[in-house]
Structure 1
Amino acid sequence: MAGICTPKPKTASYAVFWGIRWLSAQPFTRMLQVSRRGTAMPMSPYRKLTPYADAAKQRGVGVYHLNIGQPDIETPPAALAAVQQARIGVLEYSPTAGLPSYRTKLAAYYQRAGMPVEAEDILVTAGGSEAIFFALMSCLNPGDELIVPEPFYGAYTAFAVATDVRIVPVTSHIENGYALPPIAEFESRITPRTKALLVCNPNNPTGYVYSRQELEQLLDLCRRHHLYLLSDEAYREFCYDGNYVSALHLPGAAEHVVVLDTISKRYSACGARIGAFVTKNKALQAVAFKFAQMRVSPPGLAQLLGEAATELPDSYFDLAKAEYLARRNRMVERLRAIPGVYCPTPGGAFYIMASLPIADAEHFALWLLEEFQHDGHTVMISPATGFYATPGAGRNEVRLAYVINQAAIDGAMDCLAEALRQYPGRIGA
């Protein structure tokens, strides 16, 4: 058949002609698409309304920010000075696990808090967020289940999506101050895919402080079912109605407990992005170290700040704690004076969860920024639905952060009281 030119079929996507298959000349159509993981990633419950707050400010409206845990307390000058005065010729990578001097001093800080932590138990991370990410990547496989009491820190949902982990919620309730639900409810959620429990203590967003007895019950459950207990302890210093108990204070914690930590709230240094993944489980620490190698090293300059902060006197925390306590008391007092508002008194951290006389906190929060002002100001809040995994839960609840001074808290509460009086969707209006 040499010399014979055989034409391509034109009418099918492919055809067989004399035993030869040709692809159609018609072009294959492909569309750019983002990942399913990206589509499933939720917006931050405390940042997603930021464009509306920015628009309000451009209209000349002052905004009281109660939506996010950004303290206004001064970052310790001695910690900042350690960075400002550092004599650095080349800003090199630090070791993957963090600077040895910082890990040593951080271990001493934990020891002063009664936690049996050595430098080799610490992996320095880029904020508490990276510590959470390392924990989920190291303790759970794709498709595994993580039991969490809700409401919980909103970013947990995002980390679960990023790591293909399923959050299984156990609901706590505002009526009893968001106390830990009965341990039987946790046990009833355990399946063959369950690998860990995650608690935040003191809790964000509720401010609830878990007692030693409650933590012992959780650890006992984890030991009996061979689970990890992940303990997010970002607000350790800020407990107002009793002593703080770390999961690492408990007997038998060594193999099961991972403490997730950060200096962001402790030293009002959110922008430093320095945290810690802390466990005495050597095999788990070795696995987390491999994930840490992926990002090479934690921030170098910020570790200098963190190291200097470990040497601050205890009086630093006394003053900060007293200020937050006064702010908590003021906000609780003002909220309870507003008709239809209910809030428990939080025992720690710097957040208050409140139920409002409205049907939809998302709509109310948007209305505050788009349509309302009082004496030239409005208030930005976090709707609570973003802190629940159960669909529809928390629709009339909000999280408020008492991270602004008491005069500003009074102004914000004036706005909130007037807003609830004017709001067209107020229940019982």
Structure 2
Amino acid sequence: MPKISKKGLAMPESPIRKLVPFAEGAKKKGHKVYHLNIGQPDIKTPESAISAVKNANIEVLEYSHSAGFESYRNKLSEYYKNHGLPIDNQDIIITTGGSEALLFAMGSTMDTDDEIIIPEPFYANYNGFSTASGVKVVPVMSSIEDGFALPPIEAFEKLITAKTKAILICNPGNPTGYLYSQEEILKLAEIVKKHDLFLIADEVYREFTYDGFKHYSVMNVPGIEENAIMIDSVSKRYSMCGARIGCIVSKNKEVMATAMKFAQARLSPPTYAQIASEAALETPQSYFDEVITEYKDRRDTLVNELNKIPGVKVAVPKGAFYCIAKLPVKNADDFAQWLLENFNYNGETVMVAPAAGFYSTPGVGLDEVRIAYVLKKEDLIKSVQVLKEALSVYKG
């Protein structure tokens, strides 16, 4: 029998999606499942985006330019400049989601067995993207004790070798919700300049910050124009996860020329999704003001309810719409599966994402889960009540 590739065998399962069969099983039993496992917002997509697709007068569904519609890139450049980011249209390549942008970034800057340093816990698919690219993830540990703040620069310095090509951050963070301060970004800028590394910043949650904290982009840092690569997406900003439109952004012309070759190899990003994404740029600021207020209320509700459960510890997120909670269990994978297979409270149960999959260090995060507060507040309160009841009877 032909054998599967080593790379394929090494590809990690998604900690977010691997429990789906058990959730489907729970639903077949008639149980209501509260999905706290995935960052799928229930906020309505802007009507301008939906209408643009409905009203598109297209007779032939053609390829677009490999870099994406020029009209979209021009408007995206204007959008960034209006938000204080000095980004021109030639600095942008439209991609099939932020995922493809990350693959283009790794493919353009790293070779097989090169190393990328990432503060962990981190977005689980970074493990998959690095495996697909033949790149080794070198984790630097952050801690729930300080809300998952940037680890000391000395910790980064100890990990840098001749194979190190980049540092990757998610800001605000998935799964932690941590928002790096301007001071922390400048520290990273200093280290990438010193060691001639790339600084890749996944900034897809840029709009979602709370409590007066402001997002500081790597594209705002003077002196690292050749080092900085920004990853962006419409998925969360406009509640358009299914559009699969993102972009890779950099002032480094060599990086962008190389990324363009990857873009040409996959021909073009999807046409209808680009039409929707371009139209979404007309969304008024009032939309974001309302969304941010809603997410802040949901965050406060979730954290307050979790803090009522004995033995649970939660880091208060400053951005995005996720938090990491430490539970009084030995193995959150087993607990998450048990919740779906063997537990219900008044016919209801919850689906969480075990956090071990957001680490690359073996054996870390086994008692943690990621929770996405993308449900309305009433459902978050019910979800935490179910979680509380489950923890009171779980034997693991």
Where on the TM-score scale, by shorter chain, does this alignment land: which range? over 0.9
Tell me which amino acid in the other structure corresponds to 2:178: Y
Tell me which amino acid in the other structure corresponds to 1:209: L
Answering whether residue 391 of structure 2 is matched by residue 417 of structure 1, we say no
Q: Which residue of 2 aligns with 1:53?
A: 23
SS at match of 1:245: coil
Provide the C-alpha distance between the structure 1 equivalents of 2:107 and 2:371, rounded to a whole number of angstroms.
31
Q: Which has the higher contact order (CA 8 A, sep 6+)?
A: 2
- Correspondence for 2:149 among 169, 173, 179: 179
- Correspondence for 2:317 among 310, 331, 346: 346
Provide the C-alpha distance between the structure 2 equivalents of 1:34 and 1:328, rounded to a whole number of angstroms.
43
Larger Rg: 1
Provide the C-alpha distance between the structure 1 equivalents of 2:204 and 2:388, rounded to a whole number of angstroms.
31
- Correspondence for 1:368 among 317, 339, 356: 339
Answering whether residue 8 of structure 2 is matched by residue 38 of structure 1, we say yes
Q: Which residue of 1 aligns with 2:68?
A: 98
Aligned-residue offset at 1:258: 0.4
Superposition pairs for residues 291-302 of structure 1, below 5 Å?
Answer: 291-302=262-273
Provide the C-alpha distance between the structure 1 equivalents of 2:224 and 2:369, rounded to a whole number of angstroms.
34
Q: Which residue of 2 aligns with 1:328?
A: 299
Q: Is the 8 A contact 2:48 2:282 kept in 1?
A: no
Provide the C-alpha distance between the structure 2 equivalents of 1:96 and 1:32, rounded to a whole number of angstroms.
35
Provide the C-alpha distance between the structure 2 equivalents of 1:112 and 1:202, rounded to a whole number of angstroms.
20
Provide the C-alpha distance between the structure 1 equivalents of 2:190 and 2:300, rounded to a whole number of angstroms.
35
1:372-391 CA-to-partner distances (Å, cap 9, x unmatched) read 00011100000110000111
Aligned-residue offset at 1:246: 0.6
SS at match of 1:277: strand
% same residue: 53
Aligned-pair RMSD on alpha carbons?
A: 0.6
1:344-365 CA-to-partner distances (Å, cap 9, x unmatched) read 2100000010100111101100
- Correspondence for 1:277 among 224, 248, 252: 248
Aligned-residue offset at 1:411: 1.1
Superposition pairs for residues 64-75 of structure 1, below 5 Å?
Answer: 64-75=34-45
Q: Which residue of 1 aligns with 2:279?
A: 308
Q: Which residue of 2 aligns with 1:407?
A: 378
1:163-213 CA-to-partner distances (Å, cap 9, x unmatched) read 100000000000110010000100110000000000000000000000011
Provide the C-alpha distance between the structure 2 equivalents of 1:397 and 1:172, rounded to a whole number of angstroms.
14
Q: Which residue of 2 aligns with 1:199?
A: 169
Q: Which residue of 2 aligns with 1:230?
A: 200
Provide the C-alpha distance between the structure 1 equivalents of 2:148 and 2:157, rounded to a whole number of angstroms.
18
1:196-241 CA-to-partner distances (Å, cap 9, x unmatched) read 0000000000000000110001011001100000000010000103
In the superposition, the TM-score normalised over structure 2's length comes to 0.99
Aligned-residue offset at 1:333: 0.3
Answering whether residue 145 of structure 2 is matched by residue 137 of structure 1, we say no
Provide the C-alpha distance between the structure 1 equivalents of 2:308 and 2:221, rounded to a whole number of angstroms.
40
Q: Which residue of 1 aligns with 2:52?
A: 82
1:308-357 CA-to-partner distances (Å, cap 9, x unmatched) read 11111111110111100000000000000011101121000000101001
Aligned-residue offset at 1:262: 0.4
Provide the C-alpha distance between the structure 1 equivalents of 2:225 and 2:2, rounded to a whole number of angstroms.
48
SS at match of 2:313: coil
Tell me which amino acid in the other structure corresponds to 1:295: R
SS at match of 1:74: coil
Q: Is the 8 A contact 2:234 2:241 kept in 1?
A: yes
Provide the C-alpha distance between the structure 2 equivalents of 1:343 and 1:112, rounded to a whole number of angstroms.
35
Superposition pairs for residues 188-267 of structure 1, below 5 Å?
Answer: 188-241=158-211, 242-267=213-238
Aligned-residue offset at 1:253: 2.5
Aligned-residue offset at 1:78: 1.1
Moved more, 405-414 or 328-337: 405-414
Structure 1 ranges of 4+ moved more than 3 A: none
1:95-144 CA-to-partner distances (Å, cap 9, x unmatched) read 00000000000011111111100001000000000000000000101110
Provide the C-alpha distance between the structure 1 equivalents of 2:342 and 2:371, rounded to a whole number of angstroms.
20
SS at match of 1:170: strand
In the superposition, the TM-score normalised over structure 1's length comes to 0.92
1:41-68 CA-to-partner distances (Å, cap 9, x unmatched) read 0100100000000011011111000001
SS at match of 1:216: helix
Q: Is the 8 A contact 2:96 2:246 kept in 1?
A: yes
Structure 1 gap ranges (5+) = 1-30
Tell me which amino acid in the other structure corresponds to 2:14: S
Provide the C-alpha distance between the structure 1 equivalents of 2:177 and 2:65, rounded to a whole number of angstroms.
35
Tell me which amino acid in the other structure corresponds to 1:140: M
SS at match of 1:353: strand
Provide the C-alpha distance between the structure 1 equivalents of 2:80 and 2:146, rounded to a whole number of angstroms.
31
Structure 2 gap ranges (5+) = none
Tell me which amino acid in the other structure corresponds to 2:107: M
Aligned-residue offset at 1:89: 1.1
